């Protein structure tokens, strides 16, 4: 029965939920002057919406081209690379000098490093012609492990005080987003999204597999490379902005498939984005109001989201 439900209705309901959560976040417990609260919380909300969009879109697209619903771009070693960059920076130049660096410079450096890594990986993969996507994923996993071991090696030998500072940087946080970085990130993600929007019809075909897409006249190699590059820009920018955040991509992507009840990316992508916004803003709301910042956002989202997802799965099989 659920398949017959119009995806439009799901979209409208989710849009209402996301808007509701945002309004709650902006107004709940607002004591003090509005001209302070609105810009302060507005920056947070904007960065959350941006990151939610980037993660939802990149996860769905990555799963489409890899024909796999349990992979996320983080498996390609993005999070691990971010951790390595942060650890390496603190290890080599120390936290004191790091905080004095221009954040824009740091942001540019992080994005470039992650983009360079992923495009090198893709170029190597597709220059040979017939190497498979699974090999790409495997190589990504191996690199991830390498990056993680290098980081944990460095973490073991740095000063314990530095380590505490480092750990703080390794949790995704929306509390300290620089507004000029936010503007740059918004611009980049907007451009990428417009490019991605124009390929909308291709995604559905790519999901049918390589041979069917070639038969239907899609230049498969080029399309997959384009999608992977879009994914890596989205993930790099959002990770450099707030820290490792791919954790909830898997959750929102699979929730979106369940709720949208259609294979069409025209619906699945917006559903995933709205879900991600509701998750992130709602999670942050719980984090701030219920736990008074005493825990990490990923824990809140994964706990609540995981339960919802399990409930959906069980209901789905009982059907």
Partner 1 sequence: MIEISNIRKAYADTIVVRDVSLQIPRRGITSIIGSNGAGKSTLLSMISRLTPMTAGTVTVDGLDVTKTPSDVLAKRLSILRQDYRIGSRLTVRDLVEFGRYPYSKGRLTAEDRSQADKAIGFLGLEALADRFLDELSGGQRQRAYVAMVLCQDTDYVLFDEPLNNLDMRHAVGMMKLLRQAADNLEKTIVLVLHDINFASCYSDYIVAMRDGVLIRHGSPDEIMTREAIREVYDMDVDIRDIDGRRIAVYYT
Per CB under 8 A, the list member of 113, 155, 263, 285 interacting with partner 1 is: 263
Interaction of residue 202 with partner 1, rule CB under 8 A: yes
Binding mask 206-225 for partner 1 (x = CB under 8 A): -xxxxxx-xxxxxx------
How far apart are CB 133 and partner 1 at their closest, in Å? 12
User: Judged by CB, which is closer to partner 1: 63, or 151?
Assistant: 63
Nearest CB to partner 1, comparing residues 245 and 255: 255
Q: Which is nearer to partner 1, 63 or 238 (CB)?
A: 63
Distances (CA, A) of 38 to 23, 27, 42, 173, 187: 11, 9, 5, 19, 22
Chosen residue from 31, 129, 317, 318 binding partner 1 by CB under 8 A = 129
- Is 47 a binding residue for partner 1 by CB under 8 A? The answer is no
Q: Is 175 among the residues that bind partner 1 (CB under 8 A)?
A: no
Among 187, 201, 306, 316, binds partner 1 (CB under 8 A): 201
**Single residue of 1, 3, 157, 292 touching partner 1 by CB under 8 A:** 3
**Minimum distance from residue 173 beta carbon to partner 1 (Å):** 34
Identify which range of 14-22, 31-39, 201-209, 311-319 contacts partner 1 by CB under 8 A: 201-209
- List the interface residues with partner 1, window 56-75 (CB under 8 A): 63-64, 67-69
Q: Does 32 bind partner 1 (CB under 8 A)?
A: no
If the CB atoms of residues 186 and 262 are measured against partner 1, the closer one turns out to be 262
Q: Cβ 138 to partner 1, closest distance in Å?
A: 19
Contact between 319 and partner 1 by CB under 8 A: the answer reads no
Select 6 or 96, whichever has its Cβ closest to partner 1: 6
CA dist list (Å): 196 to 27, 89, 181, 254, 266: 34, 33, 22, 20, 11
Residues at the contact surface with partner 1, assessed by CB under 8 A: 3, 63-64, 67-69, 129-130, 200-202, 204-205, 207-212, 214-219, 263
């Amino acid at each position: 029965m659920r398949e017959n439900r119009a995806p439009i209705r799901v979209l409208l309901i989710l849009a209402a939920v996301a808007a509701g959560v945002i309004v709650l976040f902006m107004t709940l417990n607002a004591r003090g002057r509005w001209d302070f609260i609105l810009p302060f919380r507005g920056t947070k909300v904007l960065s959350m919406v941006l990151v939610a969009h980037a993660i939802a879109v990149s996860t769905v697209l990555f799963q489409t081209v890899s024909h796999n619903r349990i992979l996320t771009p983080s498996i390609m070693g993005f999070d691990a690379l971010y951790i390595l960059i942060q650890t390496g920076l603190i290890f080599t130049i120390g936290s004191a000098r790091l905080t004095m660096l221009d954040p824009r410079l740091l942001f540019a450096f992080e994005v470039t490093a992650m983009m360079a890594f992923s495009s090198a990986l893709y170029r190597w993969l597709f220059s040979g012609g017939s190497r498979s996507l699974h090999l790409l994923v495997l190589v990504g996993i191996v690199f991830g492990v390498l990056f993680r071991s290098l980081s944990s090696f460095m973490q073991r030998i740095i000063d314990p005080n530095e380590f505490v500072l480092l750990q703080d940087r390794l949790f995704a946080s929306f509390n300290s987003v620089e507004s000029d970085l936010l503007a740059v990130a918004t611009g980049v993600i907007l451009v990428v999204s417009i490019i991605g929007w124009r390929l909308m019809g291709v995604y559905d075909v790519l999901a049918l597999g390589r041979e069917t897409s070639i038969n239907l006249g899609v230049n498969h190699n080029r399309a997959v490379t384009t999608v992977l590059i879009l994914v890596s820009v989205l993930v790099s920018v959002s990770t450099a902005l707030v820290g490792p955040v791919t954790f909830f991509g898997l959750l929102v992507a699979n929730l979106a498939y369940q709720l949208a009840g259609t294979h069409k990316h025209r619906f699945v992508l917006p559903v995933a984005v709205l879900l991600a916004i509701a998750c992130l803003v709602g999670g942050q709301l719980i984090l701030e109001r219920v736990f008074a910042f005493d825990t990490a956002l990923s824990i809140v989202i994964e706990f609540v989201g995981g339960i919802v997802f399990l409930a959906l799965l069980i209901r789905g099989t009982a059907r």
